[in-house]
Structure 1
Amino acid sequence: MTRPLSMRLAVIVIAALALTACGGPAPSSPHFIAEGNPPLLSDWGMMASNGRALTLGAGVEPYDLVTPLFSDYAHKQRTIWMPEGVSAEYREDDVLDFPVGTVITKTFYYPRGNGEDEVLRTLDHAPGWRADGLDLAGIRLVETRILVRRDAGWSALPYVWNAEQTEARLARAGDIQRLTLVSPGGAREGFAYAVPTSNQCAGCHAINNTTREIEPIGPAPRHLNRDFAYPDGAENQLAHLTAAGYLADWPGAGNTPRAADYLDLAATLDDRARSYLDINCAHCHNAAGPADTSGLHLRHDTPDGPNLGFCKPPIAAGGGTGDRPFAITPGQPDQSILLYRMEINDPGSLMPELGRAVRHDEGLALLTEWIGAMQARCTE
């Protein structure tokens, strides 16, 4: 059952006041900035931090994805905010059609290790995750990315957090942070966490290679059709956005596609693998995307066959084939280029090209199992 907007706003205020009472900053006031590049994240009012807690502004709605995009084991807090009187339009097989004034944020963070630059490799939400913000005890904030829908289209702006975790500054030229990833077993892996430049943000989000217009990647109905633990209880995210006035024409959870959680062993192996490829690869690897010349299309609805990589020889892989014959060699993971590109960390050949400096072992294991279970065989 949806709640009146006044009740939802009351819940937000109560949650914000509770976090403030526990040492959080005063709630911020979000607003749309129609032009320019604000130098501080706080200029937007989407969130506020005093170094002990990060709180979301009034009406800023957190959300999560069924299967998230992998980014060097970073955790992410995602939010959506819209000005009063506008809402997104439902599109079944595409990202929601967001109105001018929409601001989407994605904050990247890690649980801290013992050393100054140590961060912990974990799969679940890091300590401190909560629907109304983050308790920053034991958390290292890295960056927050803003996507804002303006009259001329979407703009992408990356902000890097200061050491005190009280403010993030615009970093249009990007940033490199040297970190050490510590696994639960104690293994250590040094890596360079790359905050993308504004141009790299735009390049990744320009999912149509002809128009080069950028747009969000994650908030499509199939990726949002799941429950979220809001301050007043768990609720389907699309139902929650509808009750907030942020979404129009939603047909209901039962009439909305849902991607599989790649870690959900109750889902089929094929659904889990296809969902992983869809969120991690398909924004480039689609018929109109930046990787259109590869002929490899990894959207969730691509039919089995050469476009999905089955027995498909390389077209634009350069030296990144690992001497393997096909993108996907059914039944032979060790002969599949797709897995080779996921295994290596060579910046000139790894995939995805942006946002990954370390190997995603869980994703690699899933796709290895998926390809290994395939019964078809290729002929040279």
Structure 2
Amino acid sequence: MSALKGAYIYGDYDTGKIWMFRYDRQTGRVSDHRELLDSTLRLVGFAEDVDGELLLVDHMRGLIFELKENANADHKSTFPRKLSETGLFASVSEHRPADGVIPYSVSATQWTDGASKERFLALPGNSKIDFDGITYPQPAPGAPHGWKFPDGTVAVETLSLELSPGKPRRLETRILHYEQLAGGEDVGDQFWRGYTYVWNDEQTDAVLLEDPLGMDRTFTIEDESVAGGKRLQTWHFPSRTECTVCHNMAAKYVLGINTLQMNRDHQYGDVAANQMETFRHLGLFADELPKKKAIDFPKLVDYRDASRDLDLRARSYLHANCSHCHRKWGGGNGEFLLLATVDLPEMGIANVKPSHGGFSMPGGKILTPGDPFRSVLFYRAAKLGPGRMPRMGSSVVDEAGLKLLHDWIANLPTDTRVAPVTSRNDNVDARLATTSNALQLMQTLADAPSNRSLRDEVLAHVSQQPAHIRELFERFLPEEERTKRLGSVIRADTILAMDADAERGKAVFFKTSGVQCLNCHRIGKLGIEIGPDLSQIGKKYDRAKILENILLPSKEIDLKYRVHLVQTIDGRVYSGLLIKSGPGEIVLKEPTGKLVRIPSADVEDTATQQQSMMPDLLLRDLTAKQVADLIAFLSMQKGDQAK
């Protein structure tokens, strides 16, 4: 291709994306940098043929492809731009599925800012599901098997929000489309594409969202519990890239269509029946299920049902909302498991010190049995801003879910040597003086939503408190009075055009709760060196490149900072940065900074990950000004001590 002569070409194994850039040796800068194509290839190498044309080596199919110019590049794709063009609905305006599209429901629904959901599954032709047919990646502690779907499967989810009581408005329909790749499941033969269709105001159709950053829209909601009877809520419509963060390989891609979630009754018109038994009756499984009734299979419970066991409810809640990341290889930086299939002692949270900051909570653990106010897990679910969980997919605190976590933690067997937080001081400033007491005061407000005088008094005092305290109470403010954070739609050019203060950026780097840059990076003698040392980052990159590296941490990863997996002959798997690989041992550095030494004789296999240890959308809970200040501070680091 003559158009690419002199250009550097590179690609990504996980996404199949291929980029090009040109380097101007005279200016020492990149003069052109763009994405060429988004393919389904699992790229492992490039080559040239005898004519100098570029060849692509695909690991999955075991084939070599030639890169050619698309003669139809200017032609619009035939991919359906409207929901009505997908064939999934007999009537889109009535939201009535087409024949063969199967409605389903889940036991424990994921919290999505108060939205209700309708779900459907479409299998192509007479194809069938391989029950519990996905076992990789294994061994992974507690990870349940997944259902293996036929090529062309489509999973559908429509989300609606009540803008006035009893009147839901459809916001979006999310679609996951499965394309099976060649090769075995041990190398990841699944390719799921996510799409978002945004419903029009007339509720007659939905249009494909094509903005790579997604989209935000603010709605007015009638709510008698707030002053004036109305409140604002900003809804984020996810981009295709965001879909893959939760729908990842470790979580078996499809989060809701599996044994744990599907083993429940669904209302089919006038008849309620167990979904797994119904699927069996319809012949949707490739093989007969094990000889037992559906009731004997494992399952989650509806955590909203107060009649169910408290422990089962809380564990189901954590599984549905957190476990797609917080499992082995799920992408969560915390080294613990929030799967319902793992017993509490093996989850790695009870009485365990948090590795990513304790938010000034003396004696705080990830989970302190018997004491939610010394539990960082509870704190993160209660707050807005940096460090909030879940990190994606929600910007509104789940009040009922938070109360469930509070009650569960409070009722766990406790170490009686540690007295629980029980401050009842009537002085508001005194109750805001520590994170634990502030958490307790926050819970008091949540338990008494009609006590507006107490709420107003607390909010009047909290504005002068440190950020980690203020952010606990921010949800009690109207949305228009809250801190305006970046969210998932981050425009780099807007940030780079802002006036910035490097001194304030220094505070963001070293002191901002939830971001915790210094937990992985060192500047001068400060911080921990797990990721790259940033003492000379300003000499190496300009402001735009520094920001790009933070926004897209997996786009370019230095070889020595790639995550390595090591599997031993007894089935254990370790992950971390490769510190040493010699004839006697392999040494990995885990995200916590701990060194793991593995005798070479015990190693069965090794692999290198394409995903950065640094999480995506790390900046979403900062303001644009904070990010601009941070970039200004980093751009000044040119070899001296932290400036």
Question: TM tier, shorter chain?
Answer: 0.7 to 0.9
In the alignment, which of 107, 127, 133 is matched to residue 158 of structure 2? 107
What does residue 341 of structure 1 align with? 380
Instruction: State how far apart, in whole Å, the 1-side matches of 2:276 and 2:235 are.
Output: 32
In the alignment, which of 186, 210, 234 is matched to residue 192 of structure 1? 234
What does residue 374 of structure 1 align with? 412
Alignment of 1:217-296 (within 5 A): 217-248=255-286, 249-251=288-290, 252-291=293-332, 293-296=333-336
Cα RMSD after superposing both structures: 2.5
In the alignment, which of 176, 194, 202 is matched to residue 147 of structure 1? 176
Question: In the TM superposition, what is the alpha-carbon distance from 1:100 to its structure 2 partner?
Answer: 0.7
Question: In the TM superposition, what is the alpha-carbon distance from 1:344 to its structure 2 partner?
Answer: 0.9
In the alignment, which of 42, 67, 81 is matched to residue 84 of structure 2? 42
Q: Deviations over 1:162-203 (max 9, x none)?
A: 111122111132221212444564565433111111000111
What does residue 389 of structure 2 align with? 351
Runs of 5+ in structure 2 lacking a partner? 1-76, 134-143, 182-190, 419-643
Paired residue secondary structure (1:80): strand
Question: In the TM superposition, what is the alpha-carbon distance from 1:219 to its structure 2 partner?
Answer: 1.2
Question: In the TM superposition, what is the alpha-carbon distance from 1:70 to its structure 2 partner?
Answer: 0.4
1:367 partner amino acid? L
Paired residue secondary structure (1:66): coil
Instruction: State how far apart, in whole Å, the 2-side matches of 1:250 and 1:56 are.
Output: 27
Do 1:46 and 1:60's aligned partners in 2 also have CA atoms closer than 8 Å? yes
Do 2:113 and 2:396's aligned partners in 1 also have CA atoms closer than 8 Å? yes
What does residue 95 of structure 1 align with? 146
Do 2:196 and 2:209's aligned partners in 1 also have CA atoms closer than 8 Å? yes
Question: In the TM superposition, what is the alpha-carbon distance from 1:216 to its structure 2 partner?
Answer: 0.7
In the alignment, which of 353, 358, 364 is matched to residue 325 of structure 1? 364
Question: In the TM superposition, what is the alpha-carbon distance from 1:160 to its structure 2 partner?
Answer: 0.7
Greater Cα shift, 42-51 or 358-367: 42-51
Q: Deviations over 1:33-83 (max 9, x none)?
A: xx97432222221125464x2211111111111110000010000100111
Do 2:128 and 2:284's aligned partners in 1 also have CA atoms closer than 8 Å? yes
2:304 partner amino acid? L
Instruction: State how far apart, in whole Å, the 1-side matches of 2:271 and 2:150 are.
Output: 28
Do 1:320 and 1:349's aligned partners in 2 also have CA atoms closer than 8 Å? no
Percentage of matched positions with identical amino acids = 30
Do 1:207 and 1:283's aligned partners in 2 also have CA atoms closer than 8 Å? no
Q: Deviations over 1:70-127 (max 9, x none)?
A: 00010000100111221111119333211111110000012331xxxxxx5xxxxxx5
Do 1:324 and 1:337's aligned partners in 2 also have CA atoms closer than 8 Å? no
Greater Cα shift, 262-271 or 174-183: 174-183
Do 2:266 and 2:275's aligned partners in 1 also have CA atoms closer than 8 Å? yes
Instruction: State how far apart, in whole Å, the 2-side matches of 1:359 and 1:103 are.
Output: 30
Instruction: State how far apart, in whole Å, the 1-side matches of 2:105 and 2:265 are.
Output: 9
In the alignment, which of 244, 248, 257 is matched to residue 202 of structure 1? 244
- More RCO (CA 8 Å, sep 6+): 1
The structure number with the bigger radius of gyration is 2
Do 1:110 and 1:141's aligned partners in 2 also have CA atoms closer than 8 Å? yes
- Tell me how many residue pairs correspond in the alignment: 316
Q: 1:204 to 1:45 in 2, by over 3 A?
A: same
What does residue 68 of structure 1 align with? 109
